Structure 1
Amino acid sequence: MSLKLADIRKDYSKKELSPEECLPDAVAQFEIWLKEAIGAEVPEPTAMHVASVDADGRPSSRIVLLKGVENGQFLFYTNYLSRKGRQIAANPFVSLTFFWPELERQVRIEGQARQLPGEISDEYFASRPYTSRLGAWASEQSTEIASKAELVKRAAMFGVRYPFKVPRPPHWGGYAVTPDHIEFWQGRPSRLHDRVQYTLQPDGRWQTARLAP
């Protein structure tokens, strides 16, 4: 049975968006939309598509969970030695994308990622479930492993080593993404979607513009 992908269509009509109704601050506008996504019980409202680029200019992407919006920055945590960690070390420019189809909305964020201070990563790591903390030690993320059994064995080994308190691995921690471009997309009928772009100015203010869909 062949899939007729060209026939899959959906018309959007739930809401509208204009630069005039958006807040002056792009991150504050994002927080409003995130709260609305959470309030609408969108599945995984904090899931975001993180794209990074390697030293040869080849992009790669994956889904990561947003863990905070603080001081105008977007926070997430991962293994610093993973593929994305190595790419960010070589090129700190990343993009984040949120898609909330139930609200017919998308947000695209561009900026630079920097490692968070150790004490902030320590605090978040301590809040994670015990098994997740062990997993951060057990998984040498993005490296090849012989079998799933090997991973389970490593997790058990670290469980013996750390039966109660699990310290944060030195190779694991957080990133803060400082945005300079944020775009809000609201689906509209006839593919005449509303797009509002924020661009950070040298004086720290955000400039808004409407983009053609």
Structure 2
Amino acid sequence: MDLSQFRRDYLKGGLTRKELDPDPQKQFASWFEQARKTNIADPTAMILATVGPNGQPSQRTVLLKYYDEKGYVFFTNFESRKSREIAGNSKVSLLFVWLELERQVQINGTAEKISAAESAKYFMTRPKESQIAAWVSSQSHKLSSRQILLQKFQEMKTKIGEGKVPLPSFWGGYRVVPTEIEFWQGRKSRLHDRFLYTPTESTDSGWSIERLAP
């Protein structure tokens, strides 16, 4: 199979400096809302890249649960590979890929744990079976069989019964505080539009914007 023949041109639009909001969080909110209205299957899905102690990067898809002027929040098991790597190196990268809109957003920054109270507030909104799953999955650790996982899940479900599921001490959220944000819009002939926001003290918004070559 000749993979070199798998290609298409990006023709859905462009991006100019005048169209950009001075604040990257507001620009992200605008693009995210457009992605949501496009009925993309998982507009909150984002690739999270971390780096291990040996310098080896690793990636996985996580879900954005909320964002504000302080950063972008996702939740996970604190004993997972991603959490262990964040503990050793808090610098991470997020990537949103909205192919239906021919757009990407890359967010580089540092990950920091949110408070237990903030994590508990979100945890209580999860479906009960998802809450139980957080207790029984030793995320990223070796598992001899799926049957063992399902057995642990059923035992926990029976034990909890009609009661409330408490927040696990080993589970919670991280906020990625951005140090730079890039907006990418596909264009014809691979002449894509790319704009990079970086912090600065010379503008009212606190961010400078530069166009990058595609």
**What TM-score comes out, normalization by structure 2 length?**
0.96
Return the alpha-carbon distance in structure 2 between the equivalents of residues 75 and 201 of structure 1. 23
Q: Using a 3 Å threshold, how does the CA distance of structure 1 residues 112 and 202 change in structure 2: closer, same or farther?
A: farther
1:4, distance to aligned residue in structure 2 (A): 1.1
Contact 2:201 2:207 (8 Å CA) reproduced: no
- 1:207 matched residue in structure 2: 208
Map Cα deviations across residues 25-67 of structure 1 (whole Å, 9 max, x no partner): 0111001000000001111011000000011211000000100
Shifted more, 132-141 versus 194-203: the winner is: 194-203
- 1:167 matched residue in structure 2: 166
Q: After TM superposition, list the pairs within 5 Å mapping 1:86-101 onto structure 2.
A: 86-101=84-99
Q: Does 1:180 align with 2:179?
A: yes
Return the alpha-carbon distance in structure 2 between the equivalents of residues 170 and 202 of structure 1. 39
Shifted more, 16-25 versus 125-134: the winner is: 16-25
1:71, distance to aligned residue in structure 2 (A): 2.9
For residue 50 of structure 2, the aligned residue among 31, 34, 52 is 52
Shifted more, 13-22 versus 129-138: the winner is: 13-22
Q: After TM superposition, list the pairs within 5 Å mapping 1:1-213 onto structure 2.
A: 3-163=1-161, 164-201=163-200, 205-213=206-214
Shifted more, 159-168 versus 22-31: the winner is: 159-168
Give the AA of the match of 2:114. L
* Overall identity of the aligned pairs, in %: 45
Return the alpha-carbon distance in structure 2 between the equivalents of residues 89 and 193 of structure 1. 35
Contact 2:48 2:59 (8 Å CA) reproduced: yes
**What TM-score comes out, normalization by structure 1 length?**
0.96
Map Cα deviations across residues 51-109 of structure 1 (whole Å, 9 max, x no partner): 00011211000000100012331000000100001001111110000011110100000
Aligned partner of residue 41 in structure 2, secondary structure: coil
1:202, distance to aligned residue in structure 2 (A): 5.1
Contact 1:18 1:210 (8 Å CA) reproduced: no
Contact 1:27 1:72 (8 Å CA) reproduced: no
Give the AA of the match of 1:161. K
Contact 2:182 2:197 (8 Å CA) reproduced: yes
Which runs of 5 or more residues in structure 1 are unaligned?
A: none
Contact 2:46 2:95 (8 Å CA) reproduced: yes
1:153, distance to aligned residue in structure 2 (A): 1.0
1:19, distance to aligned residue in structure 2 (A): 2.0
Give the AA of the match of 1:140. S
Moved runs in structure 1, 4+ residues, more than 4 A?
A: none
Return the alpha-carbon distance in structure 2 between the equivalents of residues 85 and 7 of structure 1. 39
**Number of residue pairs matched by the alignment:** 211
Which runs of 5 or more residues in structure 2 are unaligned?
A: none
